[in-house]
C-alpha cells in the first residue's frame, strides 16, 4: 500500500507516526544476544511496511553501558556493540530511501565517568576541564554539600578523594552531570549535534532535558509532602532547585537556535514532571522544543472519565499554537499491553492515532508485547539494584522484540540479553502478519488511515461528553467529521447518535464501511472511527465543526461539548 502524505503543508514531525527503537532489543545480527545497527538495517522494510514516518533511536554511542547507553563516553562514535559509523550512515540512507526520518537520542545532562572530559576534569582542581562538571566542597561536617538525591538512589554527590571535592550526578554515580553554566560545555555540545546533523539525522530526542541546570546556591530541597512508606526513597524531597530551573530553559533555546542552522529538523524533549508545567517547554519569546514529550496516556487511570479529564488537562496546559504529542510506550515505562490488557491495548492504539498531535509508540507495542517477567536476581537495570522493592525495574519493557515464534523469536541466534517473556507464540510479527485481525494489522490500518485522512492530523479536536465508560470525541475539518468512540470496558454499550454515519474502522477489524443510523452498538473492548454524514447534521447544531475556531492546538475546538445519550445494555 502506498501511504500518501495527507497534508503536505504540515511539517514532517506533525504528520508522521514516530516509532521508538531501543537498539539493544530490536534485532541482533551477530549472535551476541544484543541488538545492533546491522540488525536494525535488516528490518527497515518492515518499518516502511508498517507505515511509520520516523524512528527515534535510543543511544548507540560509545558507552560503558552502566545505564545501557545513556552513559556516553564518546558522543561522536558508535559503540562497537552496535556497529560502526559506517553502519550508522548506511542506516540513515536506508531509512531516507524509504521516506523515514531518523531522530537520535542525545544525552546532554551527563556523560559517563569514562568520558575523557570527566577523566580530565577529575584529574586536578586546576585542570582546564574542571569546570565542565559540577564540583563542590563538603559541607561543614565533611558530608555532601546539600541534601540533593540522585534519581537512582542515595546522595546525588560523590566524593572524589584525590581532589577532595564532591561531584554532582542526577542519575548514576557513573553519570556525572555536565556543568551547563559553562559556555565551553554548551559550545562543545552544539558541535556534537552538528556532527550528527551533518550525517543526516533529522532531529533529536533530548534526554533528561529538564535537569540541565542546578541552583547555583546549592540550596537544600524541601520535603516532599506526598512522601510516605510506599514512595521510593529518591522522591523524599521535592525537586525545586534541580528541576526546570530558568537557566535550563535558556539552554534549550540555544539548542533550538543551533538546530535551525539546518533546515527541516525537529527537537523533541524528555521533560519529566507534571503536565501543568509542560507548556513552558514549547515556544516562549524564543522557541524551545517542537515536541516536549507527553506521557499522560501512560500515567492516567484507564477509564473514559480519567482519560477525558487527562486529555483536557494536557490540551489546556499547552499554548494555543502548540502541537500536541502523545506517547504510548517507552524503554522507561511498563508496557501498555500489560498495564491495561491486550484487549484495551487496541483501544489505546486507536486513541493514540486519532488524538490531535503526533503519535509516538515503542517497538513491540504494535504486536501487543507484554512486559517480560524478570526476577530481582536476574535484573540488569541498575535502577532495580539501587532502589529495590518498588517495582522500578525497567528490564520488563526492554525485553527483545519478537519477530517469529521460534525459540529465540528471530531476535538472535545467541542468548538474548534479557528473557523474551510470555506469549511469544502469538505475539510476534510473523504470526500477526498472517492474521488480518491482529494487533499488528490494527496498528498498520490506523497509521494508514491517519495518512490518508487529513482530518486526523490537522482537523479540529472536539471532545464530547463521555458516559458509561465510552470515550467520545470528534475530529473535524471543513468537509469531514469523524466520530471516535472507545469502549473502555468489558461490557457492551450503545451510543445514540444525532446523525447518520459510516463505520470506517473497528478495533476488532471485522466491520468496515458499515452504515450506522441512530444507534452505534459497541461490543466489549471495541473502539470505532466513524465518518459522520454532515449533510444530515442535527438542526440543533448550526455551524457545528464547520466553523473555524481560533484556538489552533492541532485544530482544537474550544466549543462546549455536546450531550450524547448512551445506553448500557449489560
Among 52, 57, 201, 208, binds ligand GLC (CB under 6 A): 208
Which of 23, 370 has the CB closer to Mg ion? 23
Q: Which residues, numbered 437-496, are part of the site for ligand GLC (CB under 6 A)?
A: none
Helix (H, G, I), strand (E, B) or coil at 92: helix
**With CB cut-offs between 5 and 8 Å by kind, which of ligand GLC, Mg ion, none does residue 32 bind?**
Mg ion
Name all contacts of 146-149 with Cβ < 8 Å and 24+ positions apart. Answer: 146/218, 146/219, 146/220, 146/221, 147/220, 147/221, 147/237, 148/214, 148/218, 148/220, 148/221, 148/237, 148/241, 148/242, 149/221, 149/233, 149/234, 149/236, 149/237
Which of 202, 332 has the CB closer to ligand GLC? 332
Q: What is the CA radius of gyration of the chain?
A: 24
**With CB cut-offs between 5 and 8 Å by kind, which of ligand GLC, Mg ion, none does residue 118 bind?**
none
Spot the catalytic one: 71, 105, 202, 207: 207
398 φψ region: left (φ > 0), alpha (ψ -120 to 50), beta (else): alpha
Among 28, 113, 221, 332, binds ligand GLC (CB under 6 A): 332
Which range in 24-32, 298-306, 413-421, 448-456 contacts Mg ion by CB under 5 A?
Answer: 24-32
Give the shortest CB-418-to-ligand GLC separation in angstroms: 15
Which of 104, 470 has the CB closer to ligand GLC? 104
Q: Which three cell numbers stand for residue 376?
A: 530481582
**With CB cut-offs between 5 and 8 Å by kind, which of Mg ion, ligand GLC, none does residue 332 bind?**
ligand GLC
Beta bridge partners of 20: 56, 362
207 part of the active site: yes
How far from the centroid of its chain's Cα atoms is residue 427's Cα?
Answer: 22
In whole angstroms, give the CA distance from residue 398 to residue 396: 5
Which range in 27-35, 387-395, 464-472, 537-545 contacts Mg ion by CB under 5 A?
Answer: 27-35
Which of 211, 503 has the CB closer to ligand GLC? 211
**With CB cut-offs between 5 and 8 Å by kind, which of ligand GLC, Mg ion, none does residue 214 bind?**
none
Which of 207, 395 has the CB closer to ligand GLC? 207
Q: Which string of x and - marks every residue 62-81 that binds ligand GLC (by CB under 6 A)?
A: -----x--x-----------
In whole angstroms, give the CA distance from residue 179 to residue 212: 8
In whole angstroms, give the CA distance from residue 62 to residue 73: 6
Among 15, 21, 27, 28, binds Mg ion (CB under 5 A): 28
107 near ligand GLC, rule: CB under 6 A: yes
**With CB cut-offs between 5 and 8 Å by kind, which of Mg ion, ligand GLC, none does residue 171 bind?**
ligand GLC
Question: Which secondary-structure segment (H or E) carries 496?
Answer: strand 493-496
261 part of the active site: yes
Q: Which three cell numbers stand for residue 152?
A: 537512582
Length of the chain: 570
In whole angstroms, give the CA distance from residue 112 to residue 73: 5
Q: Which three cell numbers stand for residue 190?
A: 552544539
Which of 330, 462 has the CB closer to ligand GLC? 330
Spot the catalytic one: 11, 97, 137, 261: 261
Among 56, 75, 166, 171, binds ligand GLC (CB under 6 A): 171
Catalytic residue list: 207, 261
Amino acid at each position: 500500500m502506498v501511504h500518501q502524505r495527507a497534508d503536505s503543508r504540515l511539517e514532517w514531525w506533525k504528520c508522521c507516526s514516530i516509532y521508538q527503537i531501543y537498539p539493544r532489543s530490536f534485532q541482533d545480527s551477530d549472535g551476541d544476544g544484543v541488538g545492533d545497527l546491522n540488525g536494525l538495517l535488516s528490518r527497515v522494510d518492515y518499518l516502511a511496511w508498517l507505515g511509520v514516518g520516523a524512528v527515534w533511536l535510543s543511544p548507540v554511542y560509545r558507552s560503558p553501558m552502566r545505564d545501557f547507553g545513556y552513559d556516553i563516553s564518546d558522543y561522536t562514535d558508535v559503540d562497537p556493540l552496535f556497529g560502526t559509523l559506517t553502519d550508522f550512515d548506511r542506516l540513515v540512507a536506508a531509512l531516507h530511501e524509504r521516506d523515514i526520518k531518523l531522530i537520535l537520542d542525545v544525552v546532554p545532562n551527563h556523560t559517563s565517568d569514562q568520558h575523557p572530559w570527566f577523566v580530565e576534569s577529575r584529574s586536578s582542581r586546576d585542570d582546564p576541564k574542571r569546570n565542565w562538571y559540577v564540583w563542590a566542597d563538603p559541607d561543614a561536617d565533611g558530608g555532601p554539600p546539600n541534601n540533593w538525591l540522585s534519581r537512582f538512589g542515595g546522595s546525588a554527590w560523590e566524593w572524589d578523594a584525590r581532589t577532595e571535592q564532591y561531584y554532582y550526578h542526577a542519575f548514576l554515580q557513573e553519570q556525572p552531570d555536565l556543568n551547563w553554566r559553562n559556555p565551553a560545555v554548551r559550545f562543545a555540545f552544539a558541535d556534537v549535534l552538528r556532527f550528527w546533523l551533518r550525517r543526516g539525522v533529522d532531529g533529536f530526542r533530548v534526554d533528561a532535558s529538564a535537569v540541565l541546570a542546578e541552583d547555583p546556591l546549592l540550596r537544600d530541597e524541601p520535603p516532599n509532602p506526598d512522601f510516605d512508606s510506599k514512595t521510593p526513597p529518591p522522591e523524599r524531597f521535592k525537586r525545586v532547585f534541580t528541576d526546570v530551573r530558568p537557566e535550563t530553559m535558556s539552554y534549550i533555546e540555544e539548542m533550538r537556535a543551533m538546530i535551525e542552522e539546518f533546515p527541516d529538523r525537529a527537537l523533541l524533549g524528555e521533560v519529566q514532571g507534571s503536565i501543568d508545567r509542560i507548556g513552558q517547554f514549547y515556544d516562549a519569546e524564543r522557541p524551545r522544543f517542537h515536541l516536549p514529550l507527553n506521557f499522560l496516556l501512560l500515567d492516567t487511570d484507564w477509564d473514559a472519565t480519567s482519560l477525558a479529564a487527562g486529555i483536557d488537562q494536557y490540551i489546556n496546559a499547552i499554548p494555543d499554537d502548540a502541537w500536541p504529542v502523545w506517547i504510548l510506550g517507552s524503554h522507561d515505562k511498563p508496557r501498555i499491553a500489560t498495564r491495561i490488557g491486550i484487549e484495551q491495548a487496541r483501544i489505546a492504539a486507536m486513541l493514540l492515532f486519532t488524538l490531535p498531535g503526533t503519535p509516538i509508540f515503542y517497538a513491540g507495542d504494535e504486536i501487543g508485547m507484554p512486559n517480560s517477567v524478570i526476577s530481582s536476581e536476574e535484573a540488569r537495570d541498575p535502577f532495580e539494584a539501587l532502589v529495590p522493592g518498588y517495582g522500578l525495574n525497567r528490564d520488563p519493557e526492554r525485553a527483545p522484540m519478537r519477530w517469529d515464534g521460534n525459540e529465540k523469536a528471530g531476535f538472535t541466534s545467541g542468548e538474548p540479553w534479557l528473557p523474551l517473556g510470555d506469549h511469544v507464540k502469538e505475539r510476534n510479527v510473523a504470526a500477526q502478519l498472517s492474521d488480518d485481525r491482529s494487533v499488528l494489522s490494527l496498528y498498520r490500518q490506523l497509521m494508514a488511515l491517519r495518512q490518508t485522512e487529513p482530518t486526523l492530523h490537522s482537523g479540529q479536536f472536539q471532545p464530547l461528553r463521555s458516559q458509561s465508560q465510552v470515550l467520545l470525541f470528534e475530529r473535524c475539518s471543513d468537509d469531514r467529521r469523524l466520530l471516535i468512540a472507545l469502549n473502555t470496558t468489558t461490557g457492551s454499550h450503545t451510543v445514540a447518535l444525532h446523525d447518520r454515519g459510516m463505520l470506517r474502522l473497528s478495533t476488532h477489524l471485522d466491520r468496515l464501511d458499515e452504515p450506522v443510523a441512530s444507534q452505534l452498538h459497541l461490543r466489549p473492548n471495541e473502539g470505532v472511527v466513524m465518518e459522520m454524514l454532515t449533510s444530515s447534521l442535527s438542526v440543533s447544531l448550526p455551524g457545528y465543526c464547520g466553523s473555524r475556531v481560533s484556538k489552533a492546538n492541532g485544530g482544537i475546538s474550544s466549543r462546549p461539548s455536546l450531550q450524547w445519550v448512551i445506553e448500557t445494555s449489560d
